[in-house]
Amino acid sequence: MGGGNGGKNVSPEDIAAELGIGYTRFRRAFKEQTGISPAQYQLEIRFIRAKQLLQDKEKSIGDIAFELGFANQHQFSTFFRLHEGTTPSEWRKTI
């Protein structure tokens, strides 16, 4: 993951390439060690980060969506609702 990605999302395929192994081998080894696929792991990390960022009520949801790499606020809200069952703004009111 090094390579100075500047905090940008790195695909599991890119990670495998950086390690010098094929993606299928990387995915299999990752799943054996963690119980989930690399892509699922990345989604979980992104969701945890979303919750952390939403705690800062000074940040707009649009800014958080951008920081997390979503194309727009609607895409972020859909992602969040699928994981939490509520929108980011509704969740933020409960904290």
Which two tokens mark 31? 């799943």
Q: Under a CB-based contact definition with an 8 Å cutoff, are residues 20 and 13 in contact? A: no
What does the pLDDT read at residue 93? 93
The answer to whether the beta carbons of residues 58 and 52 sit under 8 Å apart is: no
Average pLDDT for residues 79-90, to the nearest whole number?
96
Mean pLDDT of the 77-82 span: 96
Domain ranges of the chain: 12-93
Is 80 in contact with 88 (CB distance < 8 Å)?
yes
11 pLDDT exceeds 50? Answer: yes
d(CA 77, CA 65) in angstroms, rounded, equals 8
Span 40-69, average pLDDT:
95
Q: If pLDDT is split at 50, 70 and 90, which confidence band does 1 have? A: very low
Condensed to tens digits (0 to 9), the pLDDT of residues 58-72 reads 999 999 999 999 999
Domain covering 12-93 in this structure, CATH number? 1.10.10.60
| DSSP code of residue 35 | S
Q: What is the pLDDT of residue 81?
A: 96
pTM greater than 0.85 (yes/no): no
